[in-house]
Amino acid sequence: MSLQQEIIERLGVKPEIDAELEIRKRVDFLKQSVQQAGTTGLLIAISGGIDSAVAAGLCKQATDELSSETGREFITLGVFQPYGDQSDIADSYAVAEAFNLKKRAETNIAEAVDEIAIEVEHSFKSLGIPRHLSRGGKGNIKARTRMVMQYALAFELNLLVVGTDHASEAITGFYTKWGDGAVDLTPLSTLNKRQVRQLASHIGVPQSVLDKAPTAGLWDGQTDEDELGITYGDNSDYLEGKEINAESREKLEKQYLKTEHKRSPIPGI
């Protein structure tokens, strides 16, 4: 078995999908998870990107169906988490409007992140290596701080936290382990980026979100494809079992191998 075949099998990506069937399967998964956990619904952080938009649409459909079927109220809480002023925050709210999310909360992470960064820099100074926190290091703090806030809300409101992780991120390890990767449910996990877009077109994601370049929002101007040097087109082709150019294949497989620790459970002895 080639490494490509091994990765595809491990991540569970299909070479092609029926978007309507995939939506139905993932909505049912969310409904079943809520009922098994005995919670009152789902929490989804809406960044303004396509992944969280699709996840929000799936969550809202799931909790609406549960409310209708049981006669009890189940909610989807949409959470907006800008760092200071977020230039595309309107896209986050457009997603909430598109799916008629009644329950919303905005938790600005700027003060918390900046305070943590200051404390880390104090630690550097005490170690005799005065320096500023790196751009990537601060980006990781942003990801983790967002999750702290999501879980604080979810705990008090008895909700499950839904993540936006999918196979095109898993193959590159492009997330902060146990930061933005620590969630309760990942309804997009066996889809590549192209397939997430297919669901987006069927579920009603706003056009302004569909047109955006994918970003993790780690710093101004950051895009996933620039950061990794791999296009999502090549990434998705690879996960569908297609041949891609040798340079992209090598980059993708190197990235997969060096980020194995991010996909693995915490080891013990």
**What are the residue ranges in the chain where pLDDT is below 70?**
179, 181, 213-224, 226-227
Please report the pLDDT score of residue 213 as a whole number.
66
Catalytic positions: 51, 169
Per DSSP, what are the bridge partners of residue 101? none
The pair of structure tokens assigned to 268 is 């013990």
Q: pTM here?
A: 0.92
Query: Which conformational region is residue 217 in: left (phi greater than 0), alpha (psi within -120 to 50 degrees), or beta?
Result: left
Beta strands 41-45 and 160-162, pairing class: parallel
Instruction: Give the percent of the chain with pLDDT over 90.
Output: 79
- Contact by Cβ (8 Å): 47, 82: no
Task: Name the architecture of domain 3-108+150-263.
Answer: 3-Layer(aba) Sandwich (3.40)
Please report the pLDDT score of residue 153 as a whole number.
98
What does the buried/exposed string (b/e) look like for 218-242 if buried means 16 or more CB atoms within 10 Å of the residue's CB?
beeeeebbebbebebebbbbbbbee
Positive or negative, the Cα torsion across 99, 100, 105, 110?
positive
Please report the pLDDT score of residue 220 as a whole number.
66
**The 41-45 sheet, strands edge to edge:** 103-106, 75-80, 41-45, 160-162
Q: Which residues contact 30 (CB under 8 A, 6 or more apart)?
A: 42, 58, 59, 62, 63, 162, 185, 187
Query: What 3-state class would DSSP assign to 44?
Result: strand
> Amino acid letter at 49?
G
Query: Beta strands of 64-203 (E only): which ranges?
Result: 75-80, 103-106, 160-162
